[in-house]
């Protein structure tokens, strides 16, 4: 890399850092000069686009930008490309306007600064027409807090919408990453932050259920497999820390069993977690003659049973006899090994299900 190219990338990283600050609580530290400085950097990036667009180095430039994303803190899933720099000012303004942490005073200063130019007025008009839908990549984690304009109303559809974006983002990053450990750290940081969102568990599980378009090149499928490997690594780390807080136990059950039926690694982890979950249940007497098995996280045996029922049902419908037998054999071994446990209650519940089915 030439010295000039290094300077250009350093400058773009400065804009990326500003854009990242504009999308989170760091914007509370901004003042009037900060807004003016940010707009100047956006102008610079637009000029950079004009100079570099169409040059042979464009692909390498985009690859370098993708690698930069992994260095931003806090993690934000910011996805910059040379083409995105064409609209650098719009990205910046939309990010600021969508950020609820931006003070009213700075909002007014931003509008005043933009109203002095034709392109500034056009940007304001465009953002107002879009009603600040907050669906752009630079606002990914913030957008998890509200429904997206591009997804339908159900929480499952919103989770799928966010997961699709995240799969595209992460496969793009991993395809450009020069250092495996750096991408793994980035991927784990994304998952950690995802867990801070109410929808995070469902979005995480949907990362295993996302389907790539059949026309997608084989290279993209390869990177998806690499991504799943790192997601599994993160999941295993979570389980070592606290199995009962695992996303597989908190996400929508139907989505979890779908992921388990598709991915052997997810199935193995899911079964291990269900086993730990059931083992953790202790008896509680709610009223005379009514004994309930309850786990440390407050779940009762009915919820545990629901997971097993859905898993067995999915494996039966997909004719996966081998894994179905693994589940049944686990339950049988646990029941035979303990005279008084939640496993016996689980087995009785599953027998009722089989009789009804």
Please give the C-alpha separations between residue 343 and each of 126, 293, 334, in angstroms, as whole numbers.
59, 10, 6
Report, in angstroms and rounded to the nearest whole number, the Rg of the chain calculated over CA atoms: 25
How does DSSP assign 257-306, residue by residue? Answer: HHHHHH-HHHHHHHHHHHHHHHHT-EEEEEETTEEEEE-TTS-BHHHHHH
How much is the pLDDT for 138? 53
Q: Answer for the pair 306, 249: CB distance below 8 angstroms, yes or no.
A: no
How much is the pLDDT for 150? 47
- Local confidence pLDDT in tens for the 357 residues of the chain: 688 889 999 999 999 999 999 998 999 999 999 999 999 999 999 999 999 999 999 999 999 999 999 999 989 888 889 999 999 999 999 999 888 899 999 999 999 999 988 999 999 988 887 754 444 445 677 777 665 444 445 778 889 989 999 999 999 999 999 999 999 999 999 999 999 998 999 999 999 999 877 676 788 889 999 999 999 999 999 999 999 999 999 999 999 999 999 999 999 999 999 999 999 999 998 777 778 899 998 888 889 999 999 999 999 988 899 999 999 999 999 999 887 899 999 999 898 877 675
Using alpha carbons, select from 269, 248, 253 the residue that is nearest to residue 156: 253
How much is the pLDDT for 270? 98
Rounded Cα distance between 21 and 95, Å, is 10
Using alpha carbons, select from 195, 140, 126 the residue that is nearest to residue 168: 140
Q: Answer for the pair 67, 9: CB distance below 8 angstroms, yes or no.
A: no
What are residue 144's phi and psi, to 5 degrees?
Answer: -65, -20
Query: Given the structure tokens 């004719």, which residue do they identify?
Result: 319
How much is the pLDDT for 157? 84
């Amino acid at each position: 890399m030439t010295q000039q190219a290094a300077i250009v990338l350093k400058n773009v990283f400065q804009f990326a850092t500003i854009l990242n600050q504009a999308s989170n609580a760091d914007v509370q530290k901004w003042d009037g000069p900060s807004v003016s400085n940010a707009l100047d950097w956006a102008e610079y990036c637009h000029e950079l686009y004009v100079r570099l667009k169409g040059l042979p180095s464009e692909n390498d430039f985009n690859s370098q930008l993708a690698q930069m994303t992994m260095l931003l803190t806090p993690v934000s899933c910011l996805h910059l490309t040379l083409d995105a720099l064409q609209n650098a000012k719009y990205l910046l303004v939309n990010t600021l306007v969508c950020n609820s942490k931006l003070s009213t005073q700075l909002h007014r200063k931003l509008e005043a600064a933009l109203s002095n130019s034709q392109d500034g007025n056009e940007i304001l008009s465009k953002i107002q027409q879009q009603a600040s839908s907050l669906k752009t990549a630079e606002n990914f984690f913030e957008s998890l807090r509200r429904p997206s304009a591009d997804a339908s109303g159900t929480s499952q559809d919103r989770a799928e919408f966010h997961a699709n974006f995240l799969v595209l983002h992460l496969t793009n990053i991993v395809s450009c990453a020069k250092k495996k450990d750096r991408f793994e750290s980035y991927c784990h940081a994304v998952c950690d932050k995802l867990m801070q969102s109410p929808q995070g568990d469902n979005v995480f599980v949907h990362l295993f259920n996302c389907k790539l378009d059949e026309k997608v090149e084989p290279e993209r499928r390869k990177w998806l497999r690499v991504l799943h490997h790192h997601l599994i690594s993160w999941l295993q780390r979570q389980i070592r820390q606290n199995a009962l807080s695992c996303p597989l136990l908190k996400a929508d059950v139907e989505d979890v069993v779908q992921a388990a039926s598709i991915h052997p690694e997810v199935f193995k982890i899911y079964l291990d977690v269900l086993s730990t979950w059931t083992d953790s249940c202790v008896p509680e007497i709610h009223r005379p003659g009514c004994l309930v098995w309850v786990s440390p996280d407050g779940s009762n045996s009915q919820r545990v049973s629901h997971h097993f029922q859905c898993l067995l049902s999915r494996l039966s419908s997909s004719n996966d006899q081998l894994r179905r037998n693994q589940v049944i054999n686990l339950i049988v071994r646990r029941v035979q090994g303990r005279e008084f446990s939640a496993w016996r209650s689980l087995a009785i519940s599953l027998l009722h299900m089989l009789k009804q089915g």
